[in-house]
Amino acid sequence: MSKNPDTKVEPGDLEALRACLWDGVTAAHSLLKTRTNDTKLRAIHALSQSAAAYRAVLETADLEARIARLEAAMGADDAST
């Protein structure tokens, strides 16, 4: 991500979002090992939020792949008739 706030960032794709969210999940997980309760509680919250978002991205990506396969199969069926 750009450090200049005036620079426009192009929208990514689901794979880029998945990778970013996974980085968040692993970063939050590493914070669970800290000694302060405040940090642990914040890490638990961040982990639950990022894990929920990660799950949603995985489901969306899976559905997109299934739809693409169905469309490809339907296209092949249409071409053979």
Instruction: Report pLDDT for 57.
Output: 94
- What would the two tokens of residue 69 be? 């396969």
Report, as an integer, the average pLDDT of 34-57.
93
Instruction: Report pLDDT for 12.
Output: 79
The residue type at 10: E
The 10s digit of each residue's pLDDT in 11-42 is 778 888 999 999 999 999 999 988 899 999 99
Which run of H or E residues covers position 10?
none
Is residue 21 within 8 Å of residue 48, measured between CB atoms? no
Rounded to whole angstroms, the Cα distance separating 78 from 61 reads 25
Phi/psi for 45 (5° steps) reads: -65, -50
Is residue 43 within 8 Å of residue 32, measured between CB atoms? yes
Domains of the chain, residue spans = 14-80
Instruction: Report pLDDT for 3.
Output: 58
Is residue 22 within 8 Å of residue 54, measured between CB atoms? yes
The 10s digit of each residue's pLDDT in 62-79 is 999 999 999 999 987 776
